[in-house]
Amino acid sequence: MSIDLRSIITESGIEIVGFYDLLQYDHRMDDLYRDLSKFQGHVFRHNQRLAFLHIDTEYIVDRVRFTLYNLQKILRDLSISNYFCMSIGHQSTIDDMIFIRDLLTDDPYPISQISFEGHLRVNLPPKTKVRLREDLIEKQYIFLSNHPRRHRNFMMSWLSYHGLTDKGLINYSKKASGVSIDDHEDSRKDVAASGLLTVSPWTRINEHWTVNDSELLHIFSNTVEPFKNFQEPENVNYNLSNASLLQRAFCYVSNETMFNSLTCYTSEKSFKPFCSMRPMISYGSPGILAKLRSFGFKTWNNYWSEDYDVIEDHTQRFQAVAGLIRNVSSIPIKRCQEMLLDMQLILEHNQNLYVDSFVGNQTLSMREQFLTNLSR
């Protein structure tokens, strides 16, 4: 089930004459300029809007997010005034995104700022609960990398180098290649035809982490072969919690979208273990565990150190997370089963909170914020 933004708009009595997802234009805003040209000089009725959805773009453009600046320039150049822009962010990312936009321009910009866990807009989890199944544990950890990210490649290289891949259920889908450690230069330039700001090459900001440790540099220079060492269940959906898969390992390693950023970015990957009754090691930006605790979830600092969550130096945080995975890998399966039973109250609390209230509250909050801002 997905949150249907169009139906919410319909409820408000607003007629949307054009709906544009800025994620589809983020690295080619000239296309948006051409698509909006048909509205140049258009006379809108009072209840008509052009709607622009700005979600999941906060981590894509290199260093500075130019999307909002470019959108504003296009609308100004085409003399389009009756529009609505909704910026959905993953909690703490919105303030940073708007702050950067304000640095680029002094012009007033009517933007709706909506803060909720944005991944819920795309895939809502099933409202089913599973029971604790410690007997299903086959491996110490589970490591899923369905899409290549530099920090995931680095961790896979580290696990392979230290002989720990046989301790985990691993799905590693990156094509076989050497792991690049070169720097990407931030090469901003103007597009001559439109004056829109762009970035070349178009990359995600989490592709720019370069480690500052000579031993890690050596490890990451190794070629990592793709492989799967588990029988993939039917109908696996990596965007949702698949209990039949996650329960086959003791600890879930959350391979978040962003790692080398101080913005606390969370996607569905930070919530998957709650529906599967498993503990988690967070492999992402700093502050994720603290953020989950602020929502009322419980973490696992009684069983291992979670100090890595406050380490801002990315290389040091990587080493702390990798070291924790190595420690968990050394725990015998029998002991993993005992620890899981000992964690039962924490795991039940997290599952109940997530399924019974968190998803619903986040969805309701998004809907209310959206309607309030749309009718401004």
Indicate the domain borders of the chain. 5-123+365-374, 134-357
pLDDT at 325 over 80: yes
Token pair 């540099």 is found at 217
CA triple 324-325-329, angle to 5 deg: 115
Over range 172-185, report the average pLDDT: 48
Q: Could you tell me if 310 and 203 are in contact, meaning their C-beta atoms sit under 8 angstroms apart? A: no
For 111-163, the pLDDT digits (tens) are 666 666 766 655 556 677 889 999 999 999 999 887 778 888 889 999 999 99
Which pLDDT score, from 0 to 100, does residue 124 have?
A: 59
pLDDT at 239 over 70: no
Which pLDDT score, from 0 to 100, does residue 29 have?
A: 81
pLDDT at 265 over 90: no
Q: Is 56 left (phi over 0), alpha (psi -120 to 50) or beta?
A: left
Best-predicted range by mean pLDDT (15-29, 137-151, 168-182):
137-151
375 vs 188: which has the higher pLDDT: 375
pLDDT at 189 over 50: no
Which pLDDT score, from 0 to 100, does residue 282 have?
A: 97
Burial class (CB in 10 A: 0-12, 13-18, 19+), 355: middle
pLDDT at 332 over 90: yes
Which pLDDT score, from 0 to 100, does residue 234 have?
A: 54
Confidence band, pLDDT 50/70/90 cuts, at residue 330: very high
Task: Read off the DSSP letter of residue 174.
Answer: P
In whole angstroms, how far apart are CA 154 and each of 107, 170, 222, 318? Answer: 42, 14, 10, 9
Over range 193-219, report the average pLDDT: 68
pLDDT at 14 over 60: yes
Instruction: Please provide the average confidence, as pLDDT, over all residues in the chain.
Output: 79
Q: Could you tell me if 85 and 351 are in contact, meaning their C-beta atoms sit under 8 angstroms apart? A: no
Over range 280-287, report the average pLDDT: 95
Q: How far is it, in rounded angstroms, from Cα 287 to Cα 375? A: 34
Which pLDDT score, from 0 to 100, does residue 185 have?
A: 39
Topology of domain 134-357, per CATH?
Answer: Rossmann fold (3.40.50)
For 25-80, the pLDDT digits (tens) are 866 788 999 999 999 988 888 888 888 877 665 554 444 456 777 888 888 889 88
For 70-108, the pLDDT digits (tens) are 888 888 889 888 777 776 665 555 455 555 455 545 555
Which pLDDT score, from 0 to 100, does residue 303 have?
A: 97
